[in-house]
Structure 1
Amino acid sequence: MPEPTCKMFQSHPDSAVPKESPLAWSYQHVGLPKTDRQSTVLLHEHAFLGHLLLRGGAIALDKALRSVLNMSLPARPLSLTEKGDYSVQWLTPDEWLLIVPQGQEFETERKLREQLQDEHYAIVNVSGGQTLFTLTGKNVLPLLMKSAVYDVHPANFPAGKSVTTVFANTPMVLRRPDEERWELVVRRSFADYIFRWLLDAGAEYGINVSR
């Protein structure tokens, strides 16, 4: 199978320059809350994951994903599928967000392009512009309820659902991969703001931050 003719961006090249999390400045200048064993919310940033935007026909993209990652596109709108450390999420009728482990995005994109060949599609590596926060704990729900405009009640937001919404006055992707875990896909430029918002909104729950 011939190599794809497009140029791809290696977002994790070999370099002596150290990578910095989108929250590196926040950790240094804002600091972390004091560890509290009574905390009921835990925040963790998963920096440096691979974020690939996929656009095109669902049949062709699904076939390529099955071949490369042995996983399928979500079967329904506003949903996501997971397989280990990989996930793919419905964004619009012809757009999906694929998140892969750190350093895997370049090779994953190359293999997808090999499979797709002459299909009408687009793959955009947005890894450097996004980060992912997870929230766990028994008081995550009330924290989300006072932060997001979308109805996050379990009756409206079951496990496996994902939406693009407004959170703390900023656009972001809100996901619930399972019953215990919520995820926020945040633009890099908003990472510090959202971090500060969560620390403030979660103060009454004794929010902790895991690094």
Structure 2
Amino acid sequence: MSDLAIFNVNPAAVVVKAESPLAMSRVTVQTVGSAKEAGVVVREHAFLGHLVLRGNAADAAFCGGVEQVLGLPLPQGMGLLSMDTERGVSIQWMSPDEWLVIVPAGREHETEMRLRTALTGHFAVMIVSGGQTVLELSGRAVREVLMKSMAYDVHPSQFPVGKGVSTTFAKASAIVRRVGEERWELVIRRSFADYLYRWVLDASEEFGVFVASR
């Protein structure tokens, strides 16, 4: 660990103001006046802590160390998502040896250091917060918007709460997660953020869309 170049990407003494990937995006569709009127509510969860974790899922010590630090079991199958909504912590299976960890804003450096202390052997952990953001979509018409935007089957029988997949979304890529009965999240790359945000708003306009404060 002493040979690694580790630094805090979110220090207490902020010199440069951080901007979300959607800082310059503008709403260009007709919106409704409140979330109660809307078929779709769109909200960005900016500045969350995103980490990529890699390791051996067959190693009991690795799995135990992750659970000790994050307080959640390590998902070990395609589409599985472990969540603690009260603490704002989640772990999503991305491949047989890779997981996406999301923690509250400003907690990524602490989480990385705790993982590096708890884990041994071959593993990797990297902060990728600056390259991603999260769009939350909620409301009665969200599934219709998703069906217009992606080929993956989002019927409740195939996409229950607690499932997440990486897929093609509006000709780009996104991680789609169902985190509630009528609440979904899109984890999107910074380079696609403005395009996908505008796509979601346009696809939601016919159902009545409300943009919640970020």
Same fold (TM over 0.5): yes
**Across the two proteins, how many residue pairs are aligned to each other?**
206
Once the two structures are superposed, the pairs formed by residues 91-130 of structure 1 within 5 Å of their partners are 91-117=94-120, 119-130=121-132
- In the TM superposition, what whole-angstrom CA distance separates every residue of 1:89-146 from its partner, at most 9, and x where no partner exists? 00001110000000100010001001113x1011111110000011000000001000
Partner of 1:61: 62
Task: Decide whether the 8 Å contact of 1:4 with 1:114 is kept in 2.
Answer: no
SS at match of 1:26: coil
Q: What secondary structure, in the 3-state scheme, does the structure 2 residue paired with 1:202 have? A: helix
How much has 1:33 moved relative to structure 2?
4.7
Q: For residue 38 of structure 2, what is the aligned residue in structure 1? A: 39
2-side partners of 1:33 and 1:12: how far apart? Answer: 36
Structure-2 separation of matches of 1:140 and 1:10? 36
Query: Runs of 5+ in structure 1 lacking a partner?
Result: none
Alpha-carbon distance between aligned partners in 1 of 2:54 and 2:80, rounded to the nearest angstrom = 16
Kept in 2: contact 1:4–1:110 (CA 8 A):
no
Paired residue for 1:11?
A: 9
Residues in 1 aligned to 2:16 and 2:30: alpha-carbon distance in whole angstroms? 29
Please give the alpha-carbon distance, in whole angstroms, between the structure 2 residues aligned to 1:162 and 1:195. Answer: 19
Please give the secondary structure, in 2, of the residue aligned with 1:201.
helix
SS at structure 2 position matched to 1:163: strand
Query: Does the CA contact (< 8 Å) of 2:40 and 2:137 recur in 1?
Result: yes
Q: State the secondary structure of the residue aligned to 1:166.
A: strand
Alpha-carbon deviation of 1:31? Answer: 5.4
Q: Which moved more, 1:132-141 or 1:12-21?
A: 12-21
Q: What SS does structure 2 have at the residue aligned with 1:177?
A: strand
Equivalent residue, structure 1, for 2:154? 152
Task: Give the Cα separation in 1 of the matches to 2:160 and 2:67.
Answer: 25
Structure 2 vs 1, CA of residues 5 and 64 (structure 1 numbering), >3 Å: closer, same or farther? Answer: farther
Question: Residue 77 of structure 1 aligns with which residue?
Answer: 78
SS for the counterpart of 1:146 is helix
Q: Is residue 77–residue 96 contact of structure 2 (8 Å, CA) maintained in 1?
A: no
Amino acid in the other structure paired with 2:6 = M
Moved more, 44-53 or 11-20: 11-20
Q: TM-score, normalised by structure 1?
A: 0.92
1:20 aligns with 2:19: yes
How far residue 71 of structure 1 moved from its aligned partner, in angstroms, is: 1.6
Which of 172, 176, 183 is equivalent to 1:174?
A: 176
Secondary structure in 1 matching 2:17: coil
1:174, 1:185 within 8 Å by CA — same for their partners in 2?
Answer: yes
Residue 164 of structure 2 aligns to a residue in which SS?
strand
Is the CA contact 2:53–2:124 (under 8 Å) kept in the aligned structure 1?
Answer: yes
- CA shift at 1:159, angstroms? 0.8
